[in-house]
């Protein structure tokens, strides 16, 4: 073999080796980042964390098209408990008084309730006036009630109460009243429907659901890598694959923040091979009390995750969010909180959580 042939063969071998090394380098560079197996995991509850939900009738939650996820279990007894107050409120409900001649047991009242607690897209509820406590409460077996009231929500994120829903409310309430030997009285339908439209208009103008998108600058992320970094900030796995939440300090209240990424990637046969280039941090503003400083926590979480994971914070259109833009969002939110307060629909209150659901 001549020296020329030897040279060409050597050059060819070097070229092949260079291509192989380059492809290996590229594949390693573009491979999704993996969780560090040597890093100490954060302290977590001894049971799987489950996302909290708005207190509502269980049957209503199950039948709702946008049903929230199950409540935290008793294993989280160290968490504070929310106030147990009557759910119905004339501010956001149509109320119908039900008078009775003699006290009715809670067992009989529960048996008289309709099988479904929804009227159209609105929540239907019945409360009793407890003889022992002298307060309105959700019906409980073993209690004695001297009066009842039924209610239907005026509006929610699906829209305002309409004539058909009001009529169905009257039918359900009358059936319950007949079953317990009571007499129901109703307000004027046209007035209540007009009130529902006005409340719905206010809610539409003062609703806010913020989302920040974190995008990978270079290498993509694996689901485990996202979980590991988010867990350091207090996020726990939700019941839906590809979802994590930052739980509220009070058991049963909505999560302060949520983090979501591709569900299919989270459910892949080998998630470590899933390449995720972005995920979303979200805040449902009316659901969380201002005192929790949810926006500051959203901004801080997004900033920390972007720095730790070599990502960049953007809006839904892919535009990078500057500090000036983030500051302005914070100022706008303070005005929104003030407007909700002025309408007695303070963010995080039971009334606000029901209206903006």
The domain boundary, picked from 204, 230, 246, lies at 204
In the chain, the number of structural domains is 2
The pLDDT, as a whole number, for residue 357 is 94
Tokens found for residue 152: 């239907």
Q: What is the DSSP letter of 107?
A: H
Q: What is the DSSP letter of 43?
A: P
The pLDDT, as a whole number, for residue 269 is 78
pLDDT tens per residue across span 60-78:
333 333 333 333 333 334 4
CATH number where 185 lies: 3.30.1400.10
| 3-state secondary structure at position 17 | helix
- φ and ψ of 354, to 5 deg: -75, -45
Q: Kindly give the parts of the chain with pLDDT less than 50.
A: 20, 22, 24-29, 41-84
> Are residues 183 and 199 part of one domain?
yes
Has residue 13 been placed in a domain? no
Tokens found for residue 300: 């801080």
pLDDT tens per residue across span 312-345:
999 988 899 999 999 999 999 999 999 999 999 9
Has residue 192 been placed in a domain? yes
The pLDDT, as a whole number, for residue 12 is 64
Contact status, residue 95 vs residue 173, Cβ threshold 8 Å: no
> Are residues 301 and 184 part of one domain?
no
The domain boundary, picked from 204, 222, 237, lies at 204
CA quadruple 327, 332, 338, 340: dihedral, nearest 10 = -130
> Are residues 349 and 218 part of one domain?
yes
- How many CB atoms are located within 10 Å of the residue 80 CB? 10
DSSP assignment string, 287-330: GS-GGG-HHHHHHHHHHHHHHHTTEEEE-TTSPBPPHHHHHHHH
> Are residues 318 and 223 part of one domain?
yes
Has residue 17 been placed in a domain? no
The domain boundary, picked from 161, 176, 204, lies at 204
Owning domain of residue 318: 206-355
Contact status, residue 126 vs residue 176, Cβ threshold 8 Å: yes
DSSP assignment string, 166-187: HHHHHHHHHHHHHHTTEEEE--
Q: What's the pTM? A: 0.76
The pLDDT, as a whole number, for residue 316 is 84
User: For the chain, what is the radius of gyration of the CA atoms?
Assistant: 28
């Amino acid at each position: 073999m001549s020296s020329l042939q030897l040279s060409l063969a050597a050059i060819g071998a070097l070229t092949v080796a260079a291509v192989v090394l380059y492809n290996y380098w590229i594949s390693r560079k573009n491979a999704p980042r993996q969780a560090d197996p040597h890093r100490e995991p954060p302290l977590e509850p001894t049971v799987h964390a489950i996302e909290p939900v708005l207190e509502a009738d269980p049957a209503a939650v199950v039948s709702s098209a946008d049903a929230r996820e199950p409540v935290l279990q008793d294993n989280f007894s160290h968490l504070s408990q929310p106030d147990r107050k009557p759910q119905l409120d004339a501010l956001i409900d149509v109320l119908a008084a039900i008078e009775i001649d003699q006290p009715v047991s809670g067992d009989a009242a529960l048996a008289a309730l309709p099988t479904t607690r929804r009227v159209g897209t609105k929540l239907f509820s019945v409360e009793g006036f407890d003889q022992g406590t002298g307060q309105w409460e959700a019906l409980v077996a073993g209690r004695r009630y001297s009066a009842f009231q039924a209610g239907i929500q005026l509006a929610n994120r699906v829209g305002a109460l309409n004539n058909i829903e009001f009529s169905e409310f009257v039918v359900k309430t009358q059936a319950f009243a007949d079953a317990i030997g009571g007499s129901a009285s109703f307000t004027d339908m046209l007035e209540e429907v007009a009130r529902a439209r006005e409340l719905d208009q206010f809610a539409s103008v003062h609703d806010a659901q913020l989302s920040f998108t974190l995008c990978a600058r270079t290498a993509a992320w694996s689901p485990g890598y996202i979980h590991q970094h988010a867990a350091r900030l207090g996020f726990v796995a939700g019941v839906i694959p590809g979802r994590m939440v930052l739980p509220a300090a009070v058991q049963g209240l909505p999560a302060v923040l949520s983090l979501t990424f591709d569900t299919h990637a989270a459910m892949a046969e080998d998630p470590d091979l899933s390449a995720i280039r972005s995920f979303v941090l979200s805040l449902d503003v009316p659901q969380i009390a201002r005192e929790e400083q949810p926006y500051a926590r959203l901004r801080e979480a997004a900033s920390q995750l972007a720095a730790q994971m070599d990502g960049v914070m953007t809006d839904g259109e892919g535009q990078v969010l500057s500090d000036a833009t983030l500051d302005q969002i914070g100022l706008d939110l303070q005005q929104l909180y003030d407007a909700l307060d002025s309408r007695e629909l303070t963010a995080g209150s039971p009334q606000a959580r029901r209206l903006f659901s």
